[in-house]
Structure 1
Amino acid sequence: MQAQKVEQEYIDIIKNIYKGSTAKIKLESTGPTFSIERGVKQGDPLSPKLFISILESIIKRFNWEKTGLNINGNYLSHLRFADDLVLLSESSTQLQNMIDSLNTASKQVGLETNLSKTMVMTNSIQRRISVDNETLKYTEKYIYLGKQIGFNRKHNELEVERRVQNTWNKYWSLKEIFKSNMPTNIKTKVMMSCLLPCLTWKFTSKLKSKITTCQRGIERSMLNIKKIQKIRHTKIRETTKATDALTYAKRLKWKWAGHVARLKDERWTTRVTTWKGPIGKRLKGRPHTRWADDLIKTAGTCWPQIAQDRDTWNSLEEAFTFT
């Protein structure tokens, strides 16, 4: 913390907060007192920040300026969010060296790698990667910060299918509310509280259909309307007064795209968005759908330049949202 220019007064206060900390667990009765040791503590607003500080000091020890993925001449070696860490590499040898360096430095400050949650993904040959001579497992997909990532060409579609399934699981876990005689506006509020922005989705026709079908199915279910009754979804929406999930998601993506385009500093958000991908030969078949393809259909290939004018960009929002 001293290296990160935190004043000594605050360092001493933090030390006193955690010095000799104890806790008890209360269920049917109160358990014995135990001391609180290492680890990120759930519900403690300071604990994850201290962990980030420690991890930052570890990462700065490494000479990773030319390590990782080459993004237009800049190298992206890792992603960090609290205690979730992703290492990026263009070769298995480089990745193994990064893991060894991180593992050694982490042990020096009392941190350990959770091997049960550590996986390896590749779009090439699977070579042995290990931590302390324990081989790490390869996986084709992984949930990182709530989003499923993978090299599968259909990963965008698979992610939406997973979200739709999770939505129905959550719906039925709250059936005491949705299938009850509670007022419709309360049911709608509960449903909309689960609506999250998905700014990185590629809105293909199939994806849009899945989102719309899921929401309409939930609305029919909570109103006890059968599909065979053939009641139009516009009539059902008049009753539920719910926000359209697809419209909401597309509007947020449009706003996010404009925000990214107007960023002036060289942050990774902008670099990755404008990146054309690695140099090499494209595989046979139709090119992959890109994140910006639906933006280009509305604003053209010069959409980053158009987004510089907020008024012009905002005037195109409705055209993008309802296509």
Structure 2
Amino acid sequence: MTERTRSRIQAAEMGFLRRVAGVSLRDKVRSSVIREGLGVEPLLLRVKRSQLRWFGHLVRMPPGHLPREVFQARPAGKRPRGRPRTRWRDYISSLAWERLGIPQSELVDVAREKKVWGTLLELLPPRPDHG
């Protein structure tokens, strides 16, 4: 997700939350204070947690199920010129390293342990909020 898309999502989310809380921009109330008051976690954090939860589900899925087969597939053939597109597998690996501190080599082993994986996702820390 690009930085521009990320900022647009955050702006739309905060616009909605400000209306729900009855606060305008002129009141100069921080976004984190509004979220705490409403008891809502940041939308992008929720999306990332859901993606990581789905990854754990994929890893634990029995062999032969279509989603797992698609995830593990390695298509043959020539790739187009230029920078390769980011694969979902690479995105999840970088997300797990960045947010959970789990290296790519251990990611699948940790995700196979359902209770450990669930606990890690619950402890997923939000990034510091700047506004």
Would you call these one fold, judging by a TM-score over 0.5?
yes
**Mapped pair 1:295 → 2:92:** yes
**Mapped pair 1:211 → 2:13:** no
> Which of 22, 35, 38 is the equivalent residue of 1:237?
35
Q: Which one has the bigger strand percentage?
A: 1
* RMSD after superposition: 2.7
Rg larger for: 1
| C-alpha distance in 2 between matches for 1:268 and 1:224 | 46
| C-alpha distance in 2 between matches for 1:262 and 1:240 | 35
Amino acid of the structure 1 residue aligned with 2:110:
I
Match of 2:59 in 1: 261
Question: How do 1:276-315 and structure 2 match up within 5 A?
Answer: 276-284=74-82, 286-297=83-94, 298=96, 299-302=102-105, 303-315=107-119
Per-residue deviation at 1:217? 0.9
Aligned residues: 120
**TM-score normalised per structure 2:** 0.70
Unaligned runs of 5+ in 2: 97-101
**Mapped pair 1:222 → 2:25:** no
| C-alpha distance in 2 between matches for 1:321 and 1:275 | 31
| C-alpha distance in 1 between matches for 2:116 and 2:88 | 21
| C-alpha distance in 2 between matches for 1:300 and 1:204 | 23
- Answer whether contact 1:215 1:245 (CA < 8 A) is retained: yes
Greater RCO (CA < 8 Å, at least 6 residues apart): 2
1:249 to 1:238, Cα distance in 2 relative to 1, 3 A: same
- Answer whether contact 1:254 1:320 (CA < 8 A) is retained: no
**TM-score normalised per structure 1:** 0.32
1:249 to 1:308, Cα distance in 2 relative to 1, 3 A: same
Per-residue deviation at 1:278? 4.4
